[in-house]
Structure 1
Amino acid sequence: MYGMLLESVQHFVQTEFGEHVWNQALQASQCKHTSFKTHQVYPDNLMPDLAQSLSAITGKSFDYFMNYFGKCFVRFFSNFGYDKIIRASGRYFADFLQSMDNLHNQMRFTYPKMKSPSMQLAMADENGAVLIYKSGRTGFSRYFMGQLTEIAKCFYDLDLKITTLESENDVAGGTTGPIQMKPLADQQVVVKYRLDFDNKEFMEKRINYIPHESQKSLKDLDVKILLELFPFTIVLDHTMNITDAGEKVLETFILHNPDRKPTSFIGSHIMENFKCRRPRGTIFDWDTIFQMRTVLFELELIRTGTTKIRNPDEFLDNEHNDETVLEIQKVVIEAEEPDDGERKNSQGLKSILLKGQMFFIKDLDSMVFLCSPLINNLDELHGIGLYLNDLNPHGLSRELVLAGWQHYSKLEIMFEKEEQRSDELEKSVELADSWKKKGDELLYSMLPRPIAERMRAGTDLLETCETFEGVSVIFGEVMGLHSGENIQEAMNAVTTLNAVFTAIDEEIFTPFVYKVETVGMVYMAVSGAPDINPLHAEHAADLALRLIKKIKNLKLKDVSVKIGIHSGPVVAGVVGLKVPRYCLFGDTVNTASRMESSGEAFKIQISSATAAKLQDRGYKLESRGFVKVKGKGEMETFWLVAGPED
């Protein structure tokens, strides 16, 4: 399936259920894509898997989400201008139902790999219609129902009620586990729907049409005139045998079957020489084709020289078992022909694909397949062995082929450019995500994560200020460094200081200690802010002991460090706009700074307040006695010697 379908799902699920629900669904369905490209093809089972995941997350049913996805697509494709195609398809909703197959077929130019379902309007009345849905995908019938409901409401102002009359090979609602997508050869979903809506105007103007008197006086139609006007025409009798054909149909048959005579074509059953590519699974008997006169058929001419007869019993209803119907149901298909869109025979030519409508001609008492070759451009024309003068002189067949040839290369160039732009956009999104992550990392290195997230949410700077009753502030000063008298010595000092501060940064690996700032040779950290931590003194002490060991292990010549710690209340908040910093204020900060400045190399001096919190925790302390501290007078301090595990 093309990415546009998944784009619609992503957009509306994120809008109506939230981005977190969408991300959960992607993870649950093991989808590796975070975004989808409009013209890229994705696995068919991706959408049902997303519906299953969303069903498990929200509690709503699988059927609900597949129906919802169908509605989302109708709302979404208006962004691409496809709503204009729907509005132009017909005056009435029944007109649209008749033209759905043709609309899908026209989209093959834009979406060449599209595997669209087949929709057949089987019957219409004043109260609605009966529609037959056929698809090679399982699990998408509810998606189709959602599309129909939304189209009827948005484009025709109709309240559509859909009832399933018959169903074959469809996935039942409420299934659990991933949807298993099976190929068409194994099974085909066939669902017959009853659509209830106001269809009176359509029936009055289209079905119950009363011919004018002048039309009643027309002469009987001569089949020769019909075949001369339309050289691509096949006439069928009630047994679906070919009674006559246009000149170009016979020429094409001979070209593709040089070992057979034209007389073997006339009188044969149509399915002995053609394969019905669309609508898929159509049974070619008179009653069925008569009901499908509004449907566009695509018949592929096959080479009967290498054919095998498929068992007719697989196409028979239990009600039909006489010899005549058995003969009608014989279907001859080309042996070993892949159903992948390629139409080639042993001569290297592509098989011709005829597209048209079945008309019942009362004068002939026959069904006439009025068709024309399905050709996109000149390359395809040569590929099936035809020339421009073989096409109908009237109509637009020749002009369309020439226009297709002229615009095909332009379309290819446009598609390539769009794909290139899509790739560039995806790379830009990835690059933007990468920049965002780097920006977040830089922001979190300047500010604590909780504070940064509050500021990103629009919190005023003043509102980030908080009071903390108990924290432990750590100051560490690098000693022995001299800037020197020349540039070389100054560079050596910078390199050494960077090595020391980097070593300190590596030791702050838990959220219990936060690096506040570095000023000159001084490193400042805190435990207990901005995340409240009742064990702030222990974590500060552990960090200080690790730092002493690590810096000693650096074995830097003449370089040492002294550390001071004090515990108490502080006020913290963000200061500045251009380069905002998370700063601490209060006497506790000043006292911790004095503990460091009055300390000694490779020693940790702590205040009595910090010592009181560590004494009963197994830390080894040595009293230094009373020390004269600037601005504080005499203070009792301690040396922190070892931790509980040392």
Structure 2
Amino acid sequence: MYGMLLESVQHFVQLEYGEELWLRVVQHAGCRHTVFNTHQVYPDTLITDLAAACAEITQSTNDAFMQFFGRCFVRYFSNFGYDATIKATGRYFTDFLQSVDNIHMQMRFTYPKMQSPSMYLTHVDENGVVLVYRSTRQGFTYYFMGQLFQIAVEIYGFDDLDIQMLETHNTASGSKNVQIKFRLNFDNREYMATHSKKNIFMERLSLPPVPAELLLEFFPFGMIISKNMNLLGVGEKLLQVWGETPAILGDPVARHFKLRRPKGIPFTWNNLIYLHSVIFEIELIRNLIKSEIDECIDRTTGERINVSNSYEKKSDKEDSDPEMLTIKPQQPNLAASLDRRGSQGTRCILLQGQMRYIEDISAIIFLCSPLINNLDELPNMGLYLTDLNPHGLSREMVMQGWQNCSRLEVMYERAEQRSIELERNYDLLESWKRRGDELLYSMIPKPVADRLRHGQNPLSTCESFDSVSILFCELVGFNSDTIRDVMDVVTSMNSIFSCFDALMDKFNVYKVETVGQVYMAVSGAPEPTPDHARNVIEVALCQLRDVKKLDLPTTVHVEIRIGIHTGPVVAGVVGIKVPRYCFFGDTVNTASRMQTTSESGKIQVSNVTHKMLPPGLYNSIPRGKVYVKGKGDMDTFWILGKKEELAVESTKTGI
């Protein structure tokens, strides 16, 4: 779907429910777009996801919000002047319902990828109409009903429209196509009275009958189709461009013509009858390529294909139902894959016009003219200006290149291609931005990095913290006498430090850096927390436990020793080339001394850190006085583990 539908939803949800609710809806629906582009194509499921999110947040229903979204679209497109297009279709609401497909056809240049629904009327009376709605999308039934309600109120000035759903079914097994029959109840007396007067006037004319051949003279590219979908007659110019071939009269129309518009429907009698108010486009399959189409080889199977019989006839059951038409997946048509461009006189001709039923002969006549972009196309089609209708401005429109301008189509194709490339580049930009963020957050904490992004000076990130806990962990026992040993050491260090990195976010601890075989982490900065001492102890215990579980090379035997100290520090971003978030102060030095004076496989903490631990949670024993360079003798403690875990382990070992 195009962005205009989503723009209307965003505008009126923000207007009637507020900006805050809209942001919640976008997040809840998993939509990564906050702004929509009118001419950009978005997934069809996006609008249904937004409706589901709105319904869940506001405690309403999905159908109610889909109907609300349909009303929003009608209110929104008036800003683009499309309400004038609807008003121009006719004086009455019924006129509009009969002209919807024509409106969509005219919009195909502005929105070339629009997958519009189709509809037709099967019954009209003074109390309303019976409408059959067909769509390739499921879940938009109430959206369509909302559009009808709003058009009735805003454009035709009545608010008593009542819509009843009579029948609904999917048109084919496994297909997304849906077909629904509605009963629309409204005051339709003026429309019926106008058409009654028109019928009475036509009956009073008492004109003599006109032969069908005369109509084909007025429309030399027209054709007459019987109820069994055979060709009863064709115009003179159509026979001329057909070439020297056996007579085509009596042949199935689908053998020589391909239905281009309306899209998504089979070429059947019922469709021609009920879509009489819709403009049809039919492509003539030229005789020079027809021999290739009638009988050719399937490249994948090697079997011979008869394309003439590839048009499946509807079942008797379907023909017997005059109101419900089915949409079938279109049969493979090799003519569809053939380019309309070709050499002199070989290009297929596209005919555009209206289907009219003639009761006297129980047949349909296709009153049409060829679609020609400019004079350059005439030789390729084997046509001349004198072949075109002398009425209807056909010749003048070809001369001026107005009709179905090919240059305009090329422009739209290029614009669409640029839009696709732009969207692809946008996704690539998002991917690289995400990678850049991950790299930045690995060097600088996210809160600090976000402040720098907002333009703050790096010096402003320098701040003091009254109390943090710093952990130093050193890998000991490495032996690297040979090149192979060195490679094993590097591989082992990568595995161990990666294991430690996974513990940081789990316990709200920030990894500062690794220097050689020493790993440094801190809790309490840059995001202060009162549990910083407990956090680093939990990390230290996990480090001791997890390093023993790693699958390291057999030549590597590694142990770790850990030291922890608590106190005030100053932290800030340092450097330009490779900026880092560094910590300064006596606390850092003391924590490093706790690690260097520790022992393999043990956790040594200072007295300050020990006092900040929750009482009774950890099993610790005093180590006594330890000489620390620059500090003198300090009281330190060994942390053995959690008391609960140690009690369970003692029970298992029987101690």
Instruction: Indicate the TM-score class for this superposition, using the shorter chain for normalisation.
Output: 0.5 to 0.7
Equivalent of residue 395 in structure 1, options 381, 384, 392: 392
Aligned residue number for residue 118 of structure 1: 118
TM-score by length of 2: 0.60
Q: How does 1:198-237 map to 2 (within 5 A)?
A: 200=190, 208=197, 222-223=210-211, 227-233=216-222
Separation in 2, partners of 1:39, 1:562: 62
Question: In the TM superposition, what is the alpha-carbon distance from 1:315 to its structure 2 partner?
Answer: 0.8
Separation in 1, partners of 2:270, 2:593: 103
> Quick one: structure 1 residues 591 and 232, their matched pair in 2 at CA, closer, same or farther if it must change by over 3 Å?
closer
Aligned residue number for residue 481 of structure 2: none
Equivalent of residue 408 in structure 1, options 384, 406, 414: 406
Aligned residue number for residue 535 of structure 1: 534
Aligned residue number for residue 182 of structure 1: 175
Equivalent of residue 428 in structure 1, options 423, 426, 429: 426
Equivalent of residue 316 in structure 1, options 320, 340, 345: 320
**2:319 partner amino acid:** F
Separation in 2, partners of 1:344, 1:424: 29
Which whole-Å deviations, capped at 9, do the CAs of 1:43-87 have from their partners, x for residues lacking one?
Answer: 878877887788788875554455455445545656876555445
Q: How does 1:205-604 map to 2 (within 5 A)?
A: 208=197, 222-223=210-211, 227-233=216-222, 246-248=235-237, 251=240, 255=242, 258-260=245-247, 278=262, 280=265, 284=269, 289=273, 294-297=277-280, 312=316, 314-317=318-321, 338=333, 350=348, 353-358=351-356, 369=365, 371-373=367-369, 375=371, 377=373, 386-401=383-398, 403=401, 407-432=405-430, 434-435=432-433, 438-439=436-437, 442=440, 445-447=443-445, 449=446, 471-473=468-470, 507=500, 509-511=503-505, 512=507, 513-515=509-511, 525-528=521-524, 530-533=528-531, 535-536=534-535, 538-539=537-538, 565-567=564-566, 590=586, 593=589
Q: How does 1:138-157 map to 2 (within 5 A)?
A: 139-157=139-157
Question: In the TM superposition, what is the alpha-carbon distance from 1:193 to its structure 2 partner?
Answer: 2.9
**Mean alpha-carbon deviation: is it higher for 110-119 or for 500-509?**
500-509
Residues 278, 297 of structure 1: 8 Å contact kept: yes
State the percentage of identical aligned residues: 34
Q: How does 1:19-58 map to 2 (within 5 A)?
A: 19=23, 21-22=25-26, 25=29
Separation in 2, partners of 1:600, 1:270: 93
**2:608 partner amino acid:** A
**1:510 partner amino acid:** M
Question: In the TM superposition, what is the alpha-carbon distance from 1:467 to its structure 2 partner?
Answer: 8.2
> Quick one: structure 1 residues 384 and 591, their matched pair in 2 at CA, closer, same or farther if it must change by over 3 Å?
closer
Separation in 2, partners of 1:238, 1:336: 21
Aligned residue number for residue 624 of structure 2: 623
Question: In the TM superposition, what is the alpha-carbon distance from 1:97 to its structure 2 partner?
Answer: 1.9
Question: In the TM superposition, what is the alpha-carbon distance from 1:134 to its structure 2 partner?
Answer: 3.6
Aligned: 1:169 with 2:159 = no
Task: Give the match's secondary structure for 2:625.
Answer: strand
Which whole-Å deviations, capped at 9, do the CAs of 1:568-617 have from their partners, x for residues lacking one?
Answer: 6x5999899x99998999xxx65664575799777898543335578984
Task: Give the match's secondary structure for 1:99.
Answer: helix
Residues 621, 638 of structure 1: 8 Å contact kept: yes
**2:186 partner amino acid:** D
Separation in 1, partners of 2:523, 2:391: 89
Separation in 2, partners of 1:388, 1:456: 67
> Quick one: structure 1 residues 295 and 629, their matched pair in 2 at CA, closer, same or farther if it must change by over 3 Å?
closer
Task: Give the match's secondary structure for 1:100.
Answer: helix
> Quick one: structure 1 residues 23 and 343, their matched pair in 2 at CA, closer, same or farther if it must change by over 3 Å?
farther
Task: Give the match's secondary structure for 1:531.
Answer: coil
Residues 464, 569 of structure 2: 8 Å contact kept: yes
Separation in 2, partners of 1:595, 1:283: 86
Equivalent of residue 194 in structure 1, options 173, 184, 194: 184
Residues 376, 404 of structure 1: 8 Å contact kept: no
Separation in 1, partners of 2:316, 2:543: 89
Separation in 1, partners of 2:231, 2:448: 82
> Quick one: structure 1 residues 385 and 458, their matched pair in 2 at CA, closer, same or farther if it must change by over 3 Å?
same
Residues 3, 42 of structure 2: 8 Å contact kept: no
**1:163 partner amino acid:** I
Task: Give the match's secondary structure for 2:417.
Answer: helix
> Quick one: structure 1 residues 50 and 386, their matched pair in 2 at CA, closer, same or farther if it must change by over 3 Å?
farther
Separation in 2, partners of 1:502, 1:236: 78
Separation in 1, partners of 2:523, 2:317: 83
Task: Give the match's secondary structure for 1:510.
Answer: helix
Residues 29, 50 of structure 2: 8 Å contact kept: yes
Separation in 1, partners of 2:123, 2:199: 19
Separation in 1, partners of 2:276, 2:316: 24
The CA RMSD over aligned residues, in Å, is: 6.7
Which whole-Å deviations, capped at 9, do the CAs of 1:181-232 have from their partners, x for residues lacking one?
Answer: 5177xxx6251431426774x567676469999x988975755765544434
Aligned residue number for residue 93 of structure 1: 93
**Mean alpha-carbon deviation: is it higher for 215-224 or for 425-434?**
215-224
What is the aligned length? 563
Residues 312, 331 of structure 2: 8 Å contact kept: no
Aligned residue number for residue 486 of structure 1: none
TM-score by length of 1: 0.60
Aligned residue number for residue 491 of structure 1: none
> Quick one: structure 1 residues 101 and 574, their matched pair in 2 at CA, closer, same or farther if it must change by over 3 Å?
same
Question: In the TM superposition, what is the alpha-carbon distance from 1:510 to its structure 2 partner?
Answer: 1.4
Residues 278, 299 of structure 1: 8 Å contact kept: no
Separation in 2, partners of 1:406, 1:275: 19
Residues 564, 604 of structure 2: 8 Å contact kept: yes
Task: Give the match's secondary structure for 2:504.
Answer: coil
Separation in 1, partners of 2:196, 2:115: 32
Which whole-Å deviations, capped at 9, do the CAs of 1:316-349 have from their partners, x for residues lacking one?
Answer: 2599xxxxxxxxx9xxx9x97639966999x987
Task: Give the match's secondary structure for 1:535.
Answer: helix
